[in-house]
Each structure stands twice: as C-alpha cells, then as structure tokens.
Chain A
Amino acid sequence: MSGTVADIPAASFPPARSTRAATRFLRHRLAVAGVVVVVLLIAACAIGPMLSPYGPLTIDLRRRFQAPLAGPHWLGSDQLGRDLLVRLLMAGRISLTVGFVAMGISTAVGVLVGLLAGFYRGWIGTALMRLVDAVLCFPSIFLLLTLAALVSPSLATITLIIALTAWMEVARVVQGQVIALRERDFAVAAEAIGASDGYIMLRELLPNIMAPIIVAATLNVARAILAESYISYLGYGIQPPTASWGNMLNNAQEYLESAPWLALLPGAVITLAVTSFNFIGDGLRDALDPRGDRSA
C-alpha cells in the first residue's frame, strides 16, 4: 500500500479531505467489521426481544438449564428457565445505553474542562488540570466501586458514576490541542475582529479538534461498557431482575461447571462489543489523522 498516490496524507490533497478519511477508514477491515458488529448488536437489542415468544422475566421451571440449541430456547435457559437470548438482548439495551450515555456525558465534561483549561491558561487552567491529575491518580476501578457502594444503584446513577471516571482523557487531549491552536494566527485573527472568548473556543477552535475527540469518545464507549460489566458483576451495578451483561455473569458463577453457557455467552457478547468499539476507535484514529502510523 505504501508509496501509492492514494497513500499520501490527506493534507496534501485538501479538497477531498473527508472522502479520503472515509477511504482510509474503509480500508481498515477490523474497524469496518466493528461497525457491522455494533450495528447488528444495536439492531438485535432494539428489535430482537419483540420478535421472541419469551419475555426476559418469563420463568419456566420445567425447562431450567436447557443447553443452547438443545430445545426451544435457541441459546439455552438459566436456572429459572428464562430464555438466555432474550435476556442477553435486553441486557444489551441496558449495557449499550450505559455505554453511549456515559460516553456522551464524559465527552461533554472532558471537552468543557479541556477547552477552559487550554484557553485560560493562568490559574483556571492550572486548577482544572490539577483536578484532572487528581482524579487520574485514583485507579478508576476503585473509584467506581467506592462511588457505586455509596449511592443506591440505578441506571442513571451507574451511568453518571462511569461518566465521572472517564472524562479526564478527553480533557487532556482537548487541552493540549487548544494550547497549540490558541497561538495560531486564525485564533488571533478572530480576536482581532472582536470575537468573544466563547465564540473563539466553540466556533473557531473546537471544530479543528473534532478528530481526536471523536476517537477518544469511541474508545470511551468500550470503556464504559466494560466498567458497567465490572460493577454489575461485583454486584454494585444494575440490580436483578433487570439484566445487564455484567450481572448475568455474576449470576452465572454458581453454575460455571453445570451450565457454562450462562457465563460464556454474556462474556462473549461483552468481548464482542468492547473489541468492536476499540477497533472502530483505532480505525477512526488512523482515518482522521494522516500522520498516524497506519501500518497496523
């Protein structure tokens, strides 16, 4: 691939910048596969439960522990005879929602903190970035568990807690970029026509740093899904009977030998979702940053 005309960084052919980025993304096979998987997962979680004859909470004590493909339940059933496929899809709704909403909140907070810290370097910037460092100092898993133990678990609080432990990286990325762009002539030129600070931050600087923000946000979805799984697996997260991928794993521990599919299937779905988002993030990074190493 290297050495062809198509391989010259997008900046040398600015007019076609966005199409070039799309071309580069499409050449990243794993990322494209990730998009396909994520789209299928979302579609399945959204539509699947409506098509199934079983409800996620329908108990059928005559068919407990049915193995996958060995009866009417396609992916088997659990200790109460509930359909595992429907529970996985319903859990997916919860876990993906947590992932996307937490990503949205953490990105918004991170962008805001990063913009302010990069733009107002003086004491405001120092204070904000020291706050970022302070939060980063805690291993995020302990922070998550401590917070989760303190508040009563619900979808909203879990999402918020996860978001609050994930915004720092975005803040750092944005702050670094803003410091670099702040000195560029076009920011000074905007100031020279009387533009306000807010205008310069949101309209002049922010559109120039969307690429790294999008990448960080995508990776944050994966991280949030994983974080929800930890917390729920450890019992502090989404509470049964509502299913989430994490608490399905928790539930499966007792039957690891007798009914291994109860653990393997949620585990596989978590892995699938998280790796897909990670691949999408990698693909976006390579596609949006022409200087990046694209050998992978």
Chain B
Amino acid sequence: MPLSETGDLLRVEGLTVRFGAVPAIEDVSFALRPGETLAIVGESSSGKSVTALALMRLLDPRACSVSGRALLRGPDGRETDLLALPERAMADLRGRALGMIFQEPMTSLNPVHTVGRQISESLIRHERLSPRAAAARAVDLLAEVGIPEPARRASAFPHQLSGGMRQRATIAIALACRPRILIADEPTTALDVTIQAQILDLLHRLQQETGMAVVFITHNLGVVAEIADRVVVMYAGQVVEDAPVAALLEHPAMPYTAGLMRSVPRLDAALHTGRRLLAIPGNVPDPRQRPAGCTFHPRCGHARPDPCLRARPALEWAAPDHRVRCARWQEIAA
C-alpha cells in the first residue's frame, strides 16, 4: 500500500542485515507516522543500533549485506527507497531529511573543531549558507537546545563542555537542517539521570516545535514510558512486539516484553510490596547460533516443546494495532 494512503512517513519492510553468513537483524519491519515518536527497545546486541545504522546507510557495504526496503515519503508525497538510493542522493538526505544522534557525545564530536564549526558543517553543505551565516545560525541553534551563553560556547572545543552540553551540541548538529526524521541511538545512556531527563524534555519540546518524527533507540523502558507513542521491541535481531505504548505497557503480549518490564526497578512497587526485581535469566543468544524455533524459548517461562521449539513463530496481529511474535500469546493472555 502506498505511504500516502497509510499516512506513514517511513515504512521499513523486511530489513535484513547480514555480516557474512551471520544475520544481525532479520526481516525487521515497522512504520513511522509524521510527528510520532517510535521507540525501539531491546537488550544489548538485539539489533537496535544495526537497524538505525542500516536506515542511515552508515554500515560498511564491504562488511555486510543489507536487503529489504525503507520507504520514505518526501515533502512532495513521492516515495523513495532509502536502501536503493545511489550513494550521492543518500548523502544528500543525511543531515537534511534524516538527522542522527549518537550514544556517546564525547566521541561523536570531532576533538579538533569548535562546536560552532561542527554545527555549521551541515548548514553549509545542505542549505548552501555562507560560513558567516552558518556560524550565526549555529549560535541560534545552541540557544535553541538550551545552552547558556551560546555565542561563547560556539567557539568552545568539545572537551571544554560537560557531557550534557556536548549531547545538546550533538542534538543541535542533528537538527541544524530541520530533519523530518531524527534517529536517536541511545542518546541518554551515557548521561546521568538528571541530565537524561533534561535531554528528554529538550527532545520532546523540539519535536513539538518542529513536527519531526523521532526513532528513539533505548534499552530503558522508563524512558520509553515517558516519550514514546509507539514501541517496537526487538530480540535477537527480530521484531518481537510492536504496539502503541499504552497497550504495550499495560498488556504486553510477548513474554519477553513482560520480562523486560518486570526487570525495571519501580520505586512504588518496591515500597508497597517489597517485591524483588526479576531479571530475565540468561543472555541474548549469539547471532551465529540462534536457537531453533522461537529464539526466546531458552529464556522463556512459558516455553513448551510443542509450538515453541518446532518453528520460528511469525509476527501475528494480536489487535488491529498490535503485532506480536509468539506462538502461545493467546494461551498466555487467557
């Protein structure tokens, strides 16, 4: 179905990335509406970052093969497949239609250039601003992301700023050309909790001001509850659940999602019932030898030899807006 009919801004279909013979992510699909915040959640090595890098086409093409489609609706309503674009056209979209924020603000800024210059780069590249005009815009952008004394900070080097300021600066870089989609790969993970809350507020405010859609990659369900409209849960390189945030948090259909939620520390629950945290036993399987059948069955309390070990479950519709990959979700829900 064309994007103009579904109203989606971006639709990813069957995205698969293989490093040699090893699949990092398999058949990932999701849709993003304009102005929506989509959270991609999962443990480490579940394939979240690979998904983001594959969408931006930042994976080394010599090291891996990417297949599938990622349809982006342009401002004129035309659809382009990001994965099939020539490199030059893709470079043109990066930084202009698609912005990206990385996890570690120290290493994602170049240590030898001032913050202002790094913000100017994409303005000069994409909006053909003169260096002087770009520098002035960079100061405005720093003010916009809440950096005090923006004119002075623009001429600071990354190491002269604190972690929170640096992450604000990387957000200013990503937002310089007003992208329609912002991909944020664990942007708050390296920050302490108070700064984390400030950055989330900032992203929320900027999203309301600019109307951009956000793909927010995180392993933190607390963050998800705060910012997401919709959640995609990934496990071992696959989408295992995809639902609006309220439905997902209230009625998780996939045992993995439920397990993730039980492993989040909650102050109220601990105070009232003295309940202990329940970790999901075991680890995410090695992508080279994922278990047969459901990839989650070795760690799943609901696993039964019959449906769970026999075949890889398909992603099924549990509700009109809710997809789940579990052979027993109906029995478990009942």
Interface residues of A (CB under 8 A from B): 14-15, 121-122, 184-186, 188-196, 199, 203-204, 207-208
B residues 98-133 in Cβ contact with A at 8 Å: 99-100, 102, 104, 107-113, 121-122, 125-126
Q: Which residues of B contact A (CB under 8 A)?
A: 56, 58, 62, 91-96, 99-100, 102, 104, 107-113, 121-122, 125-126, 157, 159-160, 170, 173-174, 176
Out of A14, A186, A191, A203, name the residue touching B109 (CB < 8 Å): A186
CB contacts (< 8 Å) of A196 on chain B: these are 91
Residues of B within 8 Å of A15, CB to CB, are 159-160
- Would you call A195 and B121 a contact (CB within 8 A)? yes
In the complex, chain A residues whose CB is within 8 Å of the CB of B100: 189, 192-193
In the complex, A194 Cα to B88 Cα: how many Å?
A: 9
* Pair B94/A192 contact, Cβ less than 8 Å: yes
Given A184-B107, A194-B93, A194-B94, A189–B173 Cβ distance below 8 Å? yes
**B107 / chain A contacts, CB cutoff of 8 Å:** 184-186
In the complex, which of the residues A122, A189, A194, A199 contacts B102, with contact meaning CB atoms closer than 8 Å?
A: A189
Question: Which of B94, B110, B112 gathers the greatest number of chain A CB atoms within 10 Å?
Answer: B110
Task: Tell whether A185 pairs with B94 under 8 Å between CB atoms, given A192-B58, A194-B122, A195-B125.
Answer: no
* A192 contact from B62, B95, B109, B110, Cβ within 8 A: B95
B112–A207 CB distance below 8 A? yes
Docked-complex contact B170 and A14, CB < 8 angstroms: no
Q: A189 and B126: CB pair below 8 A?
A: no
Main secondary structure of the interface of A (DSSP, over half): helix
- Asked if residues B125 and A189 are in contact (CB atoms below 8 Å), the reply is no
Which of A14, A191, A204, A207 touches B159 (beta carbons < 8 Å)? A14
Write out the residue numbers on chain A whose beta carbons fall within 8 Å of the beta carbon of B157. 14
Q: How far is the CB of B124 from chain A (nearest CB, A)?
A: 10
A193–B110 contact, CB under 8 A? no
Given A122-B62, A185-B102, A190:B159 Cβ within 8 A: no
Chain A: which residue is nearest B87 at the CB level?
A197
> What distance in Å separates the Cβ of A290 from its nearest Cβ neighbour in chain B?
14
Q: Is the CB of A186 within 8 A of B58?
A: no
Q: Which residues of A contact B159 (CB under 8 A)?
A: 14-15
**Chain B contacts for A199, CB-based, 8 A:** 121, 125
Q: Say whether A185 contacts B125, CB under 8 Å.
A: no
CB distance from A127 to the nearest CB of B (A): 15
Q: Which residue of B lies closest to A208 (CB)?
A: B112
Q: Are B62 and A121 in contact (CB under 8 A)?
A: yes
